[in-house]
Amino acid sequence: MEEKLEIVVAADLDNGIGKDNGLPWRIPGDMKFFQSLTSNATEGGINAIIVGRKTWESIPEKRRPLKNRINIILTKNTAITAPEGVLVCNSLESALEALQGIEHQRCFIIGGAQIYKEALQHPLMTTIHLTRIMQEFDCDAHFPPIDDRFALAAVSDTMEENEIEYRFQRYEKKSAL
Ligand SMILES: NC(=O)c1ccc[n+]([C@@H]2O[C@H](COP(=O)([O-])OP(=O)(O)OC[C@H]3O[C@@H](n4cnc5c(N)ncnc54)[C@H](OP(=O)(O)O)[C@@H]3O)[C@@H](O)[C@H]2O)c1
């Protein structure tokens, strides 16, 4: 089956996604959504996640690698040390080549801003799982605007946690519908 790339991102009303290499909000319901979406595979299979080096470093050491998923870090510095079993690749293409040789189901791009920007232009990118956070935060990292190659395919009810309203949206590339 041909590889599909799916983006998972949480963005505020101004497409802000991060500040000082961290998340500007704490929304446990969104963390749960992320864990479940990226971990759930059928019949004992496994999914892959591709993550930029800066976002990788922002994940607390005790929570990385992300369990039950193939973890791939993108960096130009492939001499970095990574935990056993974690792949380090120097381009998105080389990550996708490496994945061709590894049994897996879905492939999620989990950020940050640099990786999202490149992945959004990739021909295999089909789906954006966007948690829309219904406020504006002080951010120094942003998600690119979602252009009209994509159509809104699903939207959840609005939820609220820590006085922050948010909803889950799924965009699909029109050419893949
Ligand atoms: N809200 C969300 O859903 C969400 C999700 C993820 C991250 N974030 C936030 O996003 C921010 C981080 O984003 P960022 O743009 O600063 O960093 P990033 O995308 O996580 O990582 C950038 C690094 O990735 C490597 N890289 C980028 N493109 C590459 C390519 N084509 N090939 C190989 N390596 C490549 C480079 O590493 P080297 O410098 O080592 O070469 C680059 O410095 C943080 O604030 C984080 O909290 C938010």
Mean pLDDT of 23-42: 97
Alpha helices in the chain (DSSP H): 28-39, 53-58, 92-100, 113-120
Distance 21 CA to ligand 1 centre (A): 9
Question: Which pLDDT does position 1 carry in this prediction?
Answer: 62
Q: What is the mean pLDDT of the chain?
A: 96
Q: What is the CATH number of domain 18-161?
A: 3.40.430.10
Q: Give the separation between CA 128 and CA 124, rounded to whole angstroms.
A: 12
Mean pLDDT of 55-66: 96
**Residue ranges around ligand 1 (CB below 6 Å):** 9-10, 17-18, 21-23, 52-55, 58, 74-77, 90-92, 110-115, 118, 141
Q: Are 7 and 116 in contact (CB under 8 A)?
A: yes
Question: Which pLDDT does position 2 carry in this prediction?
Answer: 78
Task: Please give the angle made by the CA atoms of 175, 127 and 92, to the nearest 5 degrees.
Answer: 100
Q: Give the separation between CA 21 and CA 38, rounded to whole angstroms.
A: 21
Q: Give the separation between CA 170 and CA 131, rounded to whole angstroms.
A: 9
- Of the candidates 140, 133, 87, the one whose C-alpha atom is nearest the C-alpha of residue 112 is 140
Q: Are 167 and 155 in contact (CB under 8 A)?
A: yes
Mean pLDDT of 57-64: 96
The string of pLDDT tens digits covering residues 99-128 is 999 999 999 999 999 999 999 999 999 999
Q: Give the number of the atom of ligand 1 that is nearest the alpha carbon of residue 75.
A: 34
